[in-house]
Structure 1
Amino acid sequence: MNGTSAIKVIKWNFISVLFLLAFGSGVCAQNDTISSAVQSITRDELFKHINYLADDDLKGRDTGERGQRVAALYIAGEFRKSNLERAFGDKEVEGYFQRFTMVNRDFGFFYAMSRKKYRTNYSGIIYKGASGTSTKQWVETNPVFIGSTGNPDYSKCNKEAALLVTEGNRSLNAMIDSLGELTKVRLLFIAVNDKKLFTELEANYWSLERFQLESDYKKLLDHNVLLRDYFSFRNDSISLVLLSQKVTKDLIGFKTKDLLKKAKKSENLGEQIAEDSIWSYYKGMDTLKVKLTENVGTIVKGTEFPDELVVITAHYDHIGWRDTSNYNDSVVIYNGADDNASGTSALIEIAKAFQYLADQGIRPKRSVLFLPVTAEETGLNGSRYYVQNPLYPMDSTAMVINMDMIGRRGYLMRKGKKKVYAAAFQSLEKKSKDLNKKYDKKNKDIIVDYRPGLIRKLLWKKGSDQYSFTKKCVPAIAYFTGLHKDYHKSTDTAEKIDYDKLLDITRHVFLVAWEVANNTEDFPINRE
């Protein structure tokens, strides 16, 4: 990792830990209880959680699907068994959930081949399937050229496929409004002459196609008239196929600027001008999909500063499953044992350890929110929703601690060493180093790398849920054991987890979280 240095950590030398945590009257009894809380985090419980969450029956915990909802109920059930307080309401089970809606647009799939060139709506084509196009179709066609969007001649089209070339942004919108005049056309190719316009449309095409918060979806369309007009267009019979300048040349055989010249001559209108027929395959209609999903939350209230918050988070969703029955009569399940049943299991056990202390009358000075979030794999949407709708105001959040993939040995870790990266953000690097070192000196089996170089700068700055918080200027520490060959594959399974390593990391994060929740002097709330 570019020469990053490492420090040796804890073998749970409790004499050292007791010394570090000692304060006030009744110190010995309290420290004995904290030691017992550390020991209450067990390998067996971590094993149980991961094997449940990464079981085939949950089918990869895809956001909004049955497996993800079952996982949410399991986590809430574990909180409830430990008498942990509901964070989001008073209802028996519902109070553990922060529910929200996500949406996406499925525009359908389009494939075209002509002149030995082929393209899809993943490479220079924007496709919007007609609302009546629910089945797959193969079409061989040579579209009729009907001019430019500024002055189309719909009377020249008596075929099922037509071709237009754009002439300015506004005329594209006007043309879309008048498409009802094309009574016979089923497939309308639109060659976009404006490179900037196509790039903008294509970028937002992908933004709308991935699942996102409903509020973000509406905001994207509300702030761009062109996009709103184009993407809100619906037609029962006409599928739109927008072509980039390069794809127009590949499929039609003409540059868009040459098509504009042809559009000015009436003798070219109504002609099939493509150099060769276009084979088109398309299926699916433009559909708005809606998913209901939920973050899970429990809180341990603080004593001296109950309105200040430390957030412990880990995402519990994964990428689901894929039907491969077309070619091997099976399904592929992405179990996500390390990503991120490992972090979720650690979070559950840390929450239970905090509650163990609370049951003995020992509570942190600050409140601590344990927040397993959903929809990380769709773009950090669960944590994004939380920071937009926080339990406490964001300026009352002292720190977030995130755990994502903490159960394996990544590519860059030395063989035989139990190593975990601790990436710090929002000017927390020095304090994170000191904080980890405070509990690290006696353990020869784990290395905490508190300066993970490229991991911090490239992957982890925006790569997991702490980013939603750091965008709100909340300091963060993110724990991570590195990428490996099973990342986002069906082979990320429970038997490959290093449970001894996960146990040590979980206990370490518990002690760090306890320190942050009580040390208001070294970790003040400061947004300046």
Structure 2
Amino acid sequence: MNKKNLLFLALGLSLQTFAQSPVAQKYAGYITAEDARKHLTILASDEFEGRETGKPGAEKAAKYIAGEFQKMGLTAPVKGSYFQDIPLIETTFEVKNFIANQKPFTYGTDFYFSGSPDANSITTKEIVFVGYGITDSAYNDLKNIDITNKIVLVINTGEPVKNGTYLITKSDKPSDWSITRNKRIKFLQSKNPALILAVNPAVAAILKTNASYFTSGRLSIKQDAAKPKQTLPPVINITADIADQLLQKSGKTYTAFKNLIDSTSAPQTQVVKADLSTSFGQKFKDVHAVNVLGYLEGSDLKNEVVVFSAHYDHIGLNPTGPDKVNNGADDDGSGTTGILEIARAYTKAKKEGHGPRRSILFLGNVGEEKGLLGSEYYTDHPVIPLERTITDLNIDMIGRVDPAHKDNPNYCYLIGSDKLSTTLHKISETANSTYTKLAIDYKYNDPKDPEQIYYRSDHYNFAKHNIPIIFYFNGVHEDYHKPGDEVSKINFDLLVKRAQLVFYTGWDLLNRDQKPVVDVKNNMPASR
């Protein structure tokens, strides 16, 4: 074949690759604002009480989703059921006392714990102040000191900076010690102290708005006996007032120590005499919750599966405000609505003889707001073996516009499309350029982005099993996790367009000859 023929063939293949499919467009058209509004008005109604995991509202939402799956004719893949039971346990954390130099402080008002550590009683006559808790060639708070089994007090924000120049980077840009969430805490935990007291001025504001979160029960997956949880040194997040009380015998306040480090560029690590006693423990209660699954079988490649996921839970009631319900219309009523609409489009296609070659699992996850619990349980106990799962397309918040895009709402954040598979990224880009033409924003795809969004929705539990993923997201807005996240503020045309992007991406994945190959070493750390 001569070069001219090769050129024409290449051009023809290129045009074919990027040509719109009338069949795909026909069924994408079944994703409509009218139908989306109907679903979301029910899911985000006051009747569903904010859909908190383990509460009646979430159970109502699960039954509604399952009912819609049944109406569409999706198969119930969990031994004839649409529900995958998730064995959860509610841990209520109790602090019996916290006394610093004879002054008592109150859990949920003056301090909070990260996680729910095992029961313990700690009494000490001294603590180790470790400054910023940083170890670096340019600056080392832990040089020549062993904090094993010690009570340590750490400045849990920032790093040494003088006249606008950061000591570690020697520039006006902070290092990973400031940017990467929990880096210093994980580093200190690796040194096996008995307790970490993490002081941050932001703690007071966090407690003011979220006290009930820390004092109410927390959910986790009931662990198998063969899979014990790893025990890490407990972390207590404290206000500057508590830090000052603990540092009283040093003659310096928390702020004075911080300013001294910054001004001298030298660590101030030292043992400080301090009387501290605290006792804490847990109460446990079993909680019932379910993932909701619907299955659409493919044809010649039916053993391979594409997952479309969204979490249907939200944060529940708001007992202190005039509006008592956190309706969660955007988070993640919009994603759940998107899944229902996409399922409707694919089931309609199959009924009319245009079903997918690969199979589809529509996965409504519970417990996302409690720590990605439903997706964690599913990927540890998959209904369809993970080796048959080729991609997870995860939708979490697609109905609003964030402040960064108020002047150009025709956008969507995509996270993770290129982290494991170059093919998946190309499929995604092509679907958008061919059909939806949204402005794709990859801001949160950066491993150094401080929000660490990659780890904060259900796709993460697939990605950690080396399954390619894409996360669709509209960004954080002023009503995030607030009662103002109402149906009346949803942009349904935009919700539909973003859901159609997911549909078109899925259409290619489901019908192409070759599945996406995992050919990229993920540049996101294994955990945040």
Aligned to 2:312, which of 313, 316, 326? 316
1:120 pairs with 2:106? yes
How is 1:159-174 mapped onto 2 (pairs within 5 angstroms)? 165=124
Encode CA deviations 1:427-468: one digit per residue, 9 max, x unaligned: 33564245333453466xx5241x512355333320211110
1:504 pairs with 2:494? no
Look up the SS of the partner of 2:339 in the other structure. helix
1:289 pairs with 2:285? yes
1:492 pairs with 2:485? yes
CA shift, 1:365, in A, is 1.4
The letter of the residue matching 2:68 is: E
Look up the SS of the partner of 1:472 in the other structure. coil
Distance verdict in 2 for CA 1:369–1:430, change over 3 Å? closer
Distance verdict in 2 for CA 1:456–1:359, change over 3 Å? farther
CA distance in 2, matches of 1:320, 1:515: 37
Distance verdict in 2 for CA 1:298–1:112, change over 3 Å? same
Aligned to 1:102, which of 88, 97, 101? 88
CA shift, 1:80, in A, is 0.8
CA contact (8 A) 1:125 1:247 kept: no
2:340 corresponding residue in structure 1? 348
Distance verdict in 2 for CA 1:209–1:62, change over 3 Å? closer
1:64 pairs with 2:54? yes
Distance verdict in 2 for CA 1:35–1:452, change over 3 Å? closer
1:48 corresponding residue in structure 2? 38
How is 1:84-233 mapped onto 2 (pairs within 5 angstroms)? 84-90=74-80, 95-108=81-94, 119-121=105-107, 165=124, 194-195=151-152, 196-199=192-195, 210-215=218-223, 219-220=227-228, 224=231
Question: So what's the TM-score if we normalise by structure 2?
Answer: 0.66
CA distance in 2, matches of 1:321, 1:110: 27
How is 1:222-261 mapped onto 2 (pairs within 5 angstroms)? 224=231, 250=245
Look up the SS of the partner of 1:422 in the other structure. strand
2:159 corresponding residue in structure 1? none
Encode CA deviations 1:177-219: one digit per residue, 9 max, x unaligned: xxxxxxxxxxxxxxx85444433799xxx9x963111117984
CA distance in 2, matches of 1:463, 1:74: 25
CA shift, 1:38, in A, is 1.9
Encode CA deviations 1:42-99: one digit per residue, 9 max, x unaligned: 2111001111111111111000100001000000111111111112122xxxx10111
311-320 vs 115-124, which moves further: 115-124
CA distance in 2, matches of 1:525, 1:360: 33
Look up the SS of the partner of 1:352 in the other structure. helix
Number of residue equivalences: 405
455-464 vs 383-392, which moves further: 455-464
Look up the SS of the partner of 1:78 in the other structure. helix
Look up the SS of the partner of 2:308 in the other structure. strand
Question: So what's the TM-score if we normalise by structure 1?
Answer: 0.66
CA contact (8 A) 1:314 1:343 kept: yes
1:76 corresponding residue in structure 2? 66
Bigger radius of gyration, 1 or 2? 1
Look up the SS of the partner of 2:504 in the other structure. helix
516-525 vs 427-436, which moves further: 427-436
CA contact (8 A) 2:420 2:466 kept: no
CA contact (8 A) 2:420 2:520 kept: no
CA distance in 1, matches of 2:413, 2:514: 25
CA contact (8 A) 1:339 1:487 kept: yes
2:438 corresponding residue in structure 1? 447
CA shift, 1:102, in A, is 1.2
CA contact (8 A) 1:395 1:527 kept: no
| Structure 1: runs of 5 or more not aligned | 1-14, 22-30, 130-148, 150-162, 168-191, 231-240, 261-272
How is 1:371-386 mapped onto 2 (pairs within 5 angstroms)? 371-386=363-378
CA shift, 1:164, in A, is 5.1
CA distance in 2, matches of 1:110, 1:331: 33
Aligned to 2:411, which of 416, 419, 439? 419
CA distance in 1, matches of 2:418, 2:363: 19
518-527 vs 297-306, which moves further: 518-527
1:467 corresponding residue in structure 2? 460
CA distance in 1, matches of 2:93, 2:432: 53
1:476 pairs with 2:469? yes
Distance verdict in 2 for CA 1:117–1:454, change over 3 Å? farther
2:361 corresponding residue in structure 1? 369
CA distance in 2, matches of 1:215, 1:300: 31
Encode CA deviations 1:315-360: one digit per residue, 9 max, x unaligned: 1100111322xxx7x5631111000000100101111111111112
